[in-house]
Amino acid sequence: MAKRVAKTVTKNCEQCGKEFTRTAVTYWRIKYCSDYCSDQNYRQRHKEQEKKRIYKWREENRERYNKQHRETMRKQRQIHKPKVRSRWHTHKFIRTYPDKAPPNFCIKCNAMQNLQLHHEIYPIKWDEIEIAIKEGQIYNVCIPCHSIETKKNNLDERMSN
């Protein structure tokens, strides 16, 4: 008896759009090029359900969640104590002297919403904070630009160690 050769069919992934090939037998049920794309699509479709599940768990386990969260935050503050103090002093300085604050737009993409303060250095004294703002070492960036900037800085720190 002759061996049957299955036909291959080229298809586009519904998640990432990448082309992939499958046998004609499984063609009708395969929608994604990989398990990763399948998982990503599932998460996108069930995002609200997942949020509800998490909020429900937090409500039912409020004391446990709060205790874990407080403990984690306390540890983080202890590890990064100078940075936490500097951020606190910087925000207090900006609230006290709004005219000396950095420009109220993202210096990377000029966005004016969802801004965060980025510190290249962490001064604590107010005169040092003022100098850092003037020299551009403390400035506003939007959340997407800030995440890119932070990742870049973390990578630089790891490479130097």
pLDDT digits (tens, 9 = 90+) for 46-71: 999 999 998 898 888 888 888 888 88
3-state secondary structure of 11: strand
The confidence score (pLDDT) of residue 138 equals: 93
Segments of 102-154 assigned E as strands: 115-119, 138-142
The confidence score (pLDDT) of residue 123 equals: 93
Strands 19-23 and 8-12, by their bridges, are antiparallel
The confidence score (pLDDT) of residue 134 equals: 93
Residues of the chain where predicted confidence (pLDDT) is lower than 70: 1-6, 24-28, 153-161
Residue 10 backbone phi and psi in degrees, to 5: -90, 135
The confidence score (pLDDT) of residue 160 equals: 65
- Per-domain boundaries in the chain: 8-41, 80-160
